[in-house]
Structure 1
Amino acid sequence: MFRIYKSENGLLVPADKPSPHTWVCLFNPSEEEISYIEQKFKILPEFLRYPLDEEERPRIEKEEQQILIILRIPDVVSKGLFIRYETIPLGIILTEENIITVCLKDHPIFEEFIAIANKSKTFNLAKPVYFILNFILAVTSLYIKLLRQIDRTLEEYEEEVFRAIENEEIIKMLSIEKTLTYFNTSLQGNDTVLIKIQSGRYLHLAEEEMELLEDVQIENRQAIEMTKVFLNIMANTMDAYTSIINNNLNLIMKFLASIAIILAIPNIIYSMYGMNIPLPFQGSSYAFFFVNILTFLLCFFVFFVLRKKRYL
């Protein structure tokens, strides 16, 4: 499917048909739609198909006066114990007169970008570089928004994980870690694209656009730093959890060993008095009470010693 937008009075509004200076938003396209866009806008066929490969990495290419920019954008893939994100490619193709974006799905980033663009009321698709930089800024802002949500979630899970007996909280933390790993890799790739844009080899940047590019780079690097910090927090939290589990296991083993020692005392004494040989007090009518009192005193003494050494 695809939607077409034009700029009108500084706003991005739907258009009925393609024309110069329009944005074609192509998502989850069929072969017929790909062929139509390719022929209508004279776009290189590989430029339309590269962004439809889920494993495509961020990069920028220029060929026959057409520019392809591939970014990685966050995409929700799981809504189980934790809403886990991965990233998918998004292509921006710049021709002499039009802008085409290509994505595997109708991603919420498109609606967010339109909302942000319409707030300024100064948007003009005749300035394609301005469009590209603002779109990358919207992508970066989405990363930061999701990272802040992860930060709040981490604070909640940090308390839960240290009280965890089952594996549910651990699975949640691993989901966060996987999301952060995807984010870190994608943001690094997007930063490489921004550096290449800054070089001026692919796009000519006016002074105003250069300032906007610097703002986008700052936001993107902030997102990278946030991701690295959260990954470090995750690693430290899991290391601390492992240490606590090992310590708790040692305490349990010490407790069980101490109980086993105490319970072994009556077993030894009663086994001795079960033998068919002459034993102390065997001729006394109070032998049963003497043996039990002795057993109790020995157990109490061992319990006191183990308690003093903090084994119990």
Structure 2
Amino acid sequence: MVTFYTKDNCGLTTAKSANDATWISALKPTEADKHYLISELGIPEAFYNDIEDIDERPRIEFEDGWCLIILRMPLKHNDPRLPYTTAPLGVVFKGDTFVSICFEQNDMISDFITYSQKKSIRPEGHFDLVLRLLISSSIWFQKYLKQVNQLIKSAEDNLEKSIRNEDLQQLLQIEKCLVYFITSIKGNEMLFYRIRNLKGYRDTFDPDLIEDVEIELRQAQDTTNIYSDILTGTMDAYASVISNNLNVIMKRLTSISIILMIPTLIASFYGMNVPNSLQNNNYGLWIIALVSFLISLIGVLMFKKKNLF
């Protein structure tokens, strides 16, 4: 779907036609949208294919007067196996044409438009708009990180009641999400430094905007690293708990095996077909059973004293 936006005193609003648009947003473009972007607007097909690649890394590239900028933004899925991931948002511009392309459904663009209207933000130039999109992406990373933190707490609460494989697997999936977030935020940070140091443009950037982008990127990165370290520590702690529980179980089973071996050994000696002092005794069986019980009881008390039970 292709949407046209223009600037007015209230910020960014929907334009009536393509001629009035200062920003063309293509969200999950169809074949007709692809034809419009490539054939009518003249966007290089190689740029379009690069943006379509879900694993494309953040970068900036120039070709035939066109500029391609790819940044990563967070996505929320309904799939419990991978609740959060990231996707590329491509920005292509030349002259008065500014196009953003994303092949995944997201709320970032609409939220950015609403925020610009609320704050009456009117981006000045293409790079100004790109930098503001970087800020919006960082804010959405932080927003989803708060939800990730709630998932971690929920999984920890469940694990405190009973250590189940499902809860451990949920923590593993969250850890995978955080890895995607860390990689994408680092890529966005490298992209920001490249944009900031572009020759011929770096003197035209708003210093306050540059500072805001840097602060939001750093905050998103630091928050992600903190949650990742906490989750890693939690996983290590539960791995130690599971290993310790297994050791306790094995220790108890070994102790029980040793105690049961005592009457078995005594019965084996007196069960041989050789003369012994109890073969003609009417109470021989009870004497052997009593001796076995007493020795086993002594063994239980000794193991209990050593905390082996």
Q: How many matched pairs?
A: 309
2:101 alignment partner in structure 1? 102
1: distance between equivalents of 2:183 and 2:199? 24
Deviations 1:18-66 (A, max 9, x none): 1255211112223332222234333333233321111211011233443
Following TM superposition, by how much is the alpha carbon of 1:266 offset from its aligned partner in structure 2, in angstroms? 1.7
Following TM superposition, by how much is the alpha carbon of 1:135 offset from its aligned partner in structure 2, in angstroms? 1.5
Larger deviation: 85-94 or 174-183? 85-94
Following TM superposition, by how much is the alpha carbon of 1:298 offset from its aligned partner in structure 2, in angstroms? 0.7
Instruction: Give secondary structure in 2 for the equivalent of 1:235.
Output: helix
Q: Tell me, which stretches of 5 or more residues in structure 1 are unaligned?
A: none
2: distance between equivalents of 1:201 and 1:60? 13
Q: Tell me, which stretches of 5 or more residues in structure 2 are unaligned?
A: none
1:196 alignment partner in structure 2? 194
Following TM superposition, by how much is the alpha carbon of 1:90 offset from its aligned partner in structure 2, in angstroms? 0.7
1:21–1:125 contact (8 Å) kept in structure 2: no
Corresponding position: 1:55 with 2:91: no
- What amino acid maps onto 1:48 in structure 2? Y
Following TM superposition, by how much is the alpha carbon of 1:310 offset from its aligned partner in structure 2, in angstroms? 0.7
Instruction: Give secondary structure in 1 for the equivalent of 2:83.
Output: strand
Following TM superposition, by how much is the alpha carbon of 1:204 offset from its aligned partner in structure 2, in angstroms? 5.1
1: distance between equivalents of 2:43 and 2:163? 57
Q: CA RMSD in A?
A: 2.2
Following TM superposition, by how much is the alpha carbon of 1:139 offset from its aligned partner in structure 2, in angstroms? 0.7
1:112 alignment partner in structure 2? 111
1:51–1:89 contact (8 Å) kept in structure 2: yes
TM-score, length of structure 2 as denominator length: 0.91
Following TM superposition, by how much is the alpha carbon of 1:224 offset from its aligned partner in structure 2, in angstroms? 1.2
Corresponding position: 1:275 with 2:276: no
Corresponding position: 1:255 with 2:252: yes
- What amino acid maps onto 1:46 in structure 2? A
Following TM superposition, by how much is the alpha carbon of 1:299 offset from its aligned partner in structure 2, in angstroms? 0.9
Deviations 1:146-201 (A, max 9, x none): 11222232233234445544311111111011111111111111001110111133
Following TM superposition, by how much is the alpha carbon of 1:267 offset from its aligned partner in structure 2, in angstroms? 1.5
Instruction: Give secondary structure in 2 for the equivalent of 1:311.
Output: coil
Instruction: Give secondary structure in 2 for the equivalent of 1:288.
Output: helix
Corresponding position: 1:292 with 2:289: yes
Instruction: Give secondary structure in 2 for the equivalent of 1:79.
Output: coil
- What amino acid maps onto 1:252 in structure 2? I
1:23–1:125 contact (8 Å) kept in structure 2: no
1:198–1:210 contact (8 Å) kept in structure 2: no
1:232 alignment partner in structure 2? 229
